[in-house]
Amino acid sequence: MPAVPAVPTAAVAPALRLPGQPRSPDLLCVGAQKAGTTWLHTVLAHHPGFWLPPFKEIDYFTDPGANLSWKFQAMHHQMSLQVKAGKIDLPTMRWWSELCLAERMDVAWYRRLFAPAGARVTGEVSPNYTGLSPAQAARAREVCPDAKIIVMLRDPIDRVWSMARMMHRAGRLSALDGPALEACVLAPEAVAWSDYWRLLATWEGAFGPDRVLVLFYEELERSPLAVVERICGFFGVPFRPAAVASLAQQRFNDAPQAPLPPALAAALAQRLRAPTQALARRYPAEAGPYLERLLAALPRAPTAAPAPR
């Protein structure tokens, strides 16, 4: 992995941080998409040691300085409904309204977003950061010099197939078969976002391997509270399992399972074989099964017929 450049920091010590004080985040979950990021945001938002924005996928680093209106109008409406239901107080709504009415997402805006956190660990969960370039990750390091990174990985074929089914449910994919499905599953972006070796190289290159926590979706399914405990330890936060035990056991954005057509699984396997082999060498217990499935999906060479006697 590339060396990490030294970045000067003007961060405020956690003990001196007060609610209402703009600050940079401590945590960036950068994906992967469909690997448990909604679960992560929901669980950490309910843990007393963390504070997360009311909505995930702020996506500041995908287009810093972007106009806000297209993204935050819907979020503002949802926040208004929560105020009417008594779930959010008016000061919180005022803070959110000021953010939503700003013209641009500049650095000052981004730091105001995390002002309510005070001394709690804070950050954002944005799976679209999976697709960021090394230069964009380096920019994130400049803005968040003390942040740590969470990367969540999932069987690469399952991840792409789950993404396709999500798009179908949302009406963005007409059918789960035929040319439209093939174009979705084999799109360069869909394949690249399952290239976990590139993902790790990007973020470890910007922040350093010791500041990147790699989690696996399959571990989350088996033992979700153990995953929460690992996250708390990584950020130096007391575990407090009782606060999140019921949420941690839930599944979010789940969908009925259906098999990916074998021809598409084989095409994905061919494209993802090399980066998955590299990942399996580093994480044999966790990513070894990914590689086994990829190899099993590859078309087998035809067996030669026996020579006539």
Average pLDDT in the chain: 83
pLDDT the model gives residue 15:
43
The pLDDT confidence band at residue 96, using thresholds 50, 70 and 90, is: confident
Average pLDDT of span 6-34: 68
pLDDT tens digit string along 216-263? 999 999 999 999 999 999 999 999 988 888 878 877 665 556 678 888
Q: Convert 196-215 into a string of H (helix), E (strand) and C (coil).
A: HHHHHHHHHHHHCHHHEEEE
pLDDT the model gives residue 89:
75
pLDDT the model gives residue 100:
78
Average pLDDT of span 87-111: 81
* CA 97 to each of CA 19, 72, 284: distance values in angstroms, whole numbers, following the listed order: 17, 10, 47
- Global pTM reads 0.85
123 DSSP 8-state letter: E
pLDDT the model gives residue 76:
67
Residue 12 burial (10 A CB sphere; 0-12, 13-18, 19+): middle
- Name the CA radius of gyration of the chain, rounded: 21
Highest mean pLDDT among 8-22, 149-163, 175-189, 246-260 belongs to 149-163
Average pLDDT of span 290-309: 75
The pLDDT confidence band at residue 8, using thresholds 50, 70 and 90, is: very low
Average pLDDT of span 93-101: 80
- Range in 1-10, 188-197, 266-275, 285-294 the model is least confident about: 1-10
- Range in 50-54, 70-74, 165-169 the model is least confident about: 70-74
56 close to 14: Cβ distance less than 8 angstroms: no
Q: Which residue has the tokens 């650095």?
A: 107
Express as a percent the part of the chain with pLDDT over 70. 82
229-251 residues labelled b (16+ CB within 10 A) or e (exposed): ebbbebbebebbeebbeebbeee
Q: Which residue has the tokens 């990750």?
A: 137
pLDDT the model gives residue 6:
34
Q: Which helix (H) or strand (E) is 267 found in, with range?
A: helix 262-282
What are the tokens at 226?
């153990």
Q: Indicate whether 141 pLDDT > 60.
A: yes
Q: Residue ranges per domain, the chain?
A: 23-36+120-223+250-297
The pLDDT confidence band at residue 143, using thresholds 50, 70 and 90, is: very high
Average pLDDT of span 293-301: 85
The CATH superfamily holding the domain 23-36+120-223+250-297 is P-loop containing nucleotide triphosphate hydrolases (3.40.50.300)
pLDDT tens digit string along 172-225? 776 777 787 888 778 888 888 899 999 999 999 999 999 999 999 999 999 999
Q: Which residues contact 86 (CB under 8 A, 6 or more apart)?
A: none
